[in-house]
């Protein structure tokens, strides 16, 4: 993967979310990024560690998760190319959760030192990155609502629609009827706060009802109208318009 397309994914992301002037863009372009390939289902950084770099997803999917003492795991967020899922480690030095790949992925590592130099030199870039972490937090808030208030089927379709919406900033175009959703039923359960058995139940139900088919790492929307009605998905919390 060449350098330009590596930075491109990051820039596309920051620009869908913030306004940057040419000098800012040039400064971001000159960030040193170490590209590495990762297998699927592997830890990138783990709870308790003190990383000295942040991880840009260039290709693939990652998740953040947190485990209780009782051994249960909660998935906190799903990440796509262009995301820097552990940007918070720049200021929160000790990890309080895990970051790992979902599928084989290409990752770009950027040292905290170079990011700190950049943000101190260019307040505009600092603001853009800060804003990025704030959107991250906005998504966490929506997930609290999701897990706390919605019944399990609505929970599932809500995170699916969120992912589809966010993928637009990478894949471009309009919202597709079929898109990648590389979670096993067990992982779906971990994201929704339900058991894998119950995840299976609701997936089957949604399929039988002709609303949506979640299988083999993909989502196929069967009935867009009833899906929207069930999910109550409003993308405002994603703050994707830099002007707004």
Which secondary structure element, helix H or strand E, spans residue 158, and what is its range?
helix 152-171
Give the Cα separation of 93 and 42 in Å (integer): 21
- 15 near a second copy, rule: CB under 8 A: no
Q: Which is nearer to DNA, 56 or 192 (CB)?
A: 192
Contact letters for DNA, residues 197-226 (x by CB under 7 A)? xx-xxxxx----------xxx---------
What is the rounded CA–CA span in Å between residue 208 and residue 211?
A: 8
The one segment of 19-27, 102-110, 167-175, 232-240 that binds a second copy by CB under 8 A: 232-240
Contact 75, 17 (CB under 8 A): no
Measured torsion, CA atoms of residues 75, 54, 80, 189, in degrees rounded to the nearest 10: -10
Output 42 or 94, the one with its CB closest to a second copy: 94
Distance CA 155, CA 198 (A): 12
194 binds DNA (CB under 7 A): yes
Q: Kindly write out the interface string for residues 40-79 of this chain, putting x where it contacts a second copy by CB under 8 A and - elsewhere.
A: ------------------------x-x-xxx-xxx-x---
Using an 8 Å Cβ cutoff, are 14 and 128 in contact? Answer: yes
Which residues form the interface with a second copy (CB under 8 A)?
A: 64, 66, 68-70, 72-74, 76, 88, 91-94, 96-97, 119-120, 123, 126-127, 130-131, 133-138, 140-145, 147-150, 192-193, 232, 236-237, 239, 244
């Amino acid at each position: 993967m060449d350098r330009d397309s590596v930075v491109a994914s990051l820039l596309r992301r920051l620009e869908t979310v913030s306004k940057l002037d040419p000098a800012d863009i040039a400064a971001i372009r000159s960030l040193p990024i170490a590209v590495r390939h990762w297998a699927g289902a592997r830890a990138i950084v783990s709870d308790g560690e003190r990383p000295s770099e942040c991880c840009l997803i260039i290709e693939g999917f990652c998740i953040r998760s947190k485990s209780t003492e009782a051994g249960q795991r909660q998935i906190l967020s799903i990440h796509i190319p262009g995301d820097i899922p552990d940007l918070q480690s720049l200021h929160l030095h000790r990890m309080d959760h895990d970051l790992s790949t979902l599928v084989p992925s290409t990752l770009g590592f950027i040292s905290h030192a170079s990011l700190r130099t950049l943000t101190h030199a260019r307040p505009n870039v600092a603001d853009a990155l800060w804003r990025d972490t704030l959107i991250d937090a906005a998504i966490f808030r929506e997930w609290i609502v999701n897990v706390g208030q919605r019944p399990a089927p609505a929970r599932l379709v809500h995170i699916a629609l969120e992912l589809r919406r966010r993928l637009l900033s990478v894949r471009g175009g309009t919202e597709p009827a079929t898109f990648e959703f590389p979670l096993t039923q067990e992982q779906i359960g971990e994201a929704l706060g339900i058991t894998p058995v119950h995840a299976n139940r609701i997936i089957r139900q949604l399929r039988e009802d002709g609303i949506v088919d979640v299988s083999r790492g993909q989502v196929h929307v069967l009935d867009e109208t009833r899906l929207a009605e069930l999910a109550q998905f409003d993308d405002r919390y994603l703050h994707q318009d830099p002007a707004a």
